[in-house]
A and B are shown apart, each in its own frame.
Chain A
């Protein structure tokens, strides 16, 4: 019951955010990202939002030009992860206001902080948006 990685990748296959909960070397990451994105891009909207890749299961969701990919292990509830992705996007949306790809690129560290609040040790620990954003907003205020 663990999330192994969270990836944000755009249509061109360029990584926009990557957080791994299990250590992989840079080369392994590159290869993994490339292969998964290629697979996701080749799928149509009507097909299901899950793919199996090696020993990972990947749950993905597309928002505008950006793919949100979450790699999980075998016991994870795929539909719940699909909704976790949406919750992440909603939270980012509340923080940035109409979040778009460029927001995440300009505020990479903030996007990471949001994710850090929501997922720890590969478990979803928080979906309460005010609990997620309060520490980050307090931090913005103080610095």
Chain B
């Protein structure tokens, strides 16, 4: 279940990513799609305006009573609709003509012949009708007795002359010629007269010609541009409106007409339909109806208002609200359209069910979506925000959708047609709304959020507080990445697939003899932007080939072509036609049709199935009469059904008669068929006809219009058109029906979109601006191909360095040198290649000179400054008289701080250790308090303190003693303290400020040494010089290989927690939160000419030492000058690093500070962490950003140029113990045993690896994709790109094994780590093996 949920959210994530990536194209395509789907709606009556249809049988018809019966009645009356009361506004009798000129002599005849002769039939017919007298019940009835007499036409325009006035309401096409036969025969252009616009300029349909013809226009067979010279049946109707219904008269009329046109009987059965159709036009002023409609709409409005009100935190609230509402409406339209397309006729009143549909569909998802997307971290890229927001709510939305669909589906089981119809609408509406939400709204939202980001970019600080509260964002890898997007280099950098190839050149650097530490993005940057010359030399055509190959354009083109081809096959095979024709035949199954039509339809269907060429058949009604239906056969007997729903309303409207609230009754239509002899038709021809047709039918006349009705026998046509196309073939390309036309158009639009898309892609590929990048990416691809080898990482047996007597506290590396310090304060220098100990720095044996050599290393020039500094130093020293206790207490603190004393050496100390990094260290305030007390009240306070730690210290001294038993015997603690006071006085009398080594290392007496040996808290090493930061606040500088103390600095008693050594400056961070900026100065003995002050400790100097003659060493004197000491933090500083001219300190007071190295100026204070900042890492190369981790489990990426937080990564449950960064990733290890890899550019979690027992281990980058981290007795080699542990190195398999805490890289692909008292050097050689 959970994986299912994840899967769903993954799908949503991918979808969101896709939508937000291509917003505009998606919006446009969605709008086009819905417009296409809604197209059939144009033929549908507007909701609420459609007349209500009611059918009563013709037999036994009587005019319904004036009022609806109130009391109980029989079934029949109850079934009548409420409006079916009183007399109708009129009985409408239509006489539909279908006439054609046959046989068609194409050689002699012209196209207008097809219209003139049939229309002329009307004159004769109307005369007959007007003169018809029927003897009923002793009196003669003529049409004028029955018909509805109308007065003046009220509408303006030319309609006046065309419609009858002060006579019977009887209209027919010949009204166009005012019933005058001469006018008709003299009319030179019939079609022009027919198609002329009468009425007002902005008239909407039905037009006058529709009223006069009385049938749906497309059925009339008259087209404006009847170019093709062929036989065509023409249809038109005479419409008679009578005020009462006389069945006898109607019958007589029918008989009369049938006798006039003998062809009728062969083509239609006029007695087939025996019912009357009533159309009711609803009254708009129905109070009750509208009150409740008003109520529902009001409720709907409130609902929408309250829902939309909840959309917050977006740029344009109104825009989103409108799009949400528009979406709901569009989905309803789509739903109606789809339902009608599949043959359902809406019977419910649209305006009535509309509010309920909206409420059922709802805009909840929209609100939820907006909320979810808005609540994603603000600093992310928009598309990831959208994707995350979607994925968060994906499961919920899917569940809701399924639930709602389920509830609605229950409605189908009520078996009430109205409810079923409603449910059907609702289901389709829900589905389409969901689709629109997912595609349209999400995209609109992404556009909106992007706009907001642009406008609010400068208000970042405002959002800072917002995204501080963010929960951990869901990290989901999209299912599918855009294939085109991955071709673009900018995006490709983010895909893990290409990381591999990117990191490959990095691995190459391992063979580099320089042994620079791996994180060297500079080399990689070169790789990317300056392709190697070998690649540039390739011939152009090869490049082009590669281009083809890479973009896979051929494959894609072929794919598209195949799809189009298949689509064409499907289209040709008539599948679409069959589908559309099925839709056509659906209405025939409706209940109001009689059984006869049903049977007829069935017979037709049978015929079609028997037709041999099934594939070509089934074009709907168009070809129906090809299969044995005569040209003038009436196939649809209720043509008035297809008339515009405003037809009767308009007709009556011309006489100011309103049919609203009333109804009209339509009597069964009388159908008349007539076949006219061609000779008669030619005889009637107007001279102008001949002329125009010869012009039109000139041989090169192209076919511009297709005919819906094709009547000619094919041989004739063949003879006419063989010089153009094969007529049969031509027919296939002409859309035969409207639906087919729509499908064709949508196919066309689709292909246009596809082609445009490909053109854009092609353009982007070819665009000159990206050319360099493209080229570089080819280079990469090619190199990848050329290599043909697999890389394996091997491991060697660890090199064990033994020598320390206590657990190792600090490690640092310098080139091939490894410097380590143990808890006892012993420093050793090792060679990482051979594993031998080069030197042991015996710090216990060193004592600073009691008296400084007078003027030994001093120039005359700097005397003033020096003197001042000396005074300063003296006063400082005076202040710290009572600090011996403090230093001791800090020593104990150092033990705490190191967190190593829980191992076997000093078990007793565990009680004083605070492992809890998540809360601010309670010891530190106490400490500062104590030190203050010490300053104020002297040593008495110190004794209290001592008594507390006395035992611990005895233990410690004991251990030190044991470790080096040959050295001097120890006094007890109290003695040493007494002495210390004495000693300090002694020391203070000379100058304390800087101590230079004299001619010889100073070996000193016992009590002094005891005081001086202090725990090493931190180490830094550079070019053979080791800077040691001690727990008692002293900074010592040693010569690594020689093992001599060069210089020491002891100004403050506060322990040194971090040291950074760059150039000639040493930055010292202390426990009390202060930072000292020290500069190393080299002096030459003035005896040796000339006395030069070298500002840096250059290589030259080292060379001196190396090549050393003893004499030279004496010449070089190193001094340490404090430039500035600032109290940077209120709490102890946890880490300090310096890179690129910036010094960054991380403190327990939740902040980081950025200093400029040159002038020691504090540039920024970085706020944001909510706990002690425990880890810090700086970039070795531009962009010189910093990564910090804190006890609140968050990792932050800072931009040091602006001092702003770029990203906040939240993935750890406990404190973050180590962070490091590469050019693409940020890697962090937390106290929760997790190693997290983050994407530096997107701020996403890429991998989270669980590493057993690694808590607080440091990590070390081997290459850009490999890191080493430690655990209990183990080392793990992790691939950060793949997020897996590549190798596990077992140092010792035991529960008692020490934890590997410190790992440093030595050279490339080698690391050194501490392991209890030992050091281990591991080499990870990589070998290349040829690919199979």
Real complex partners, A and B?
Answer: no
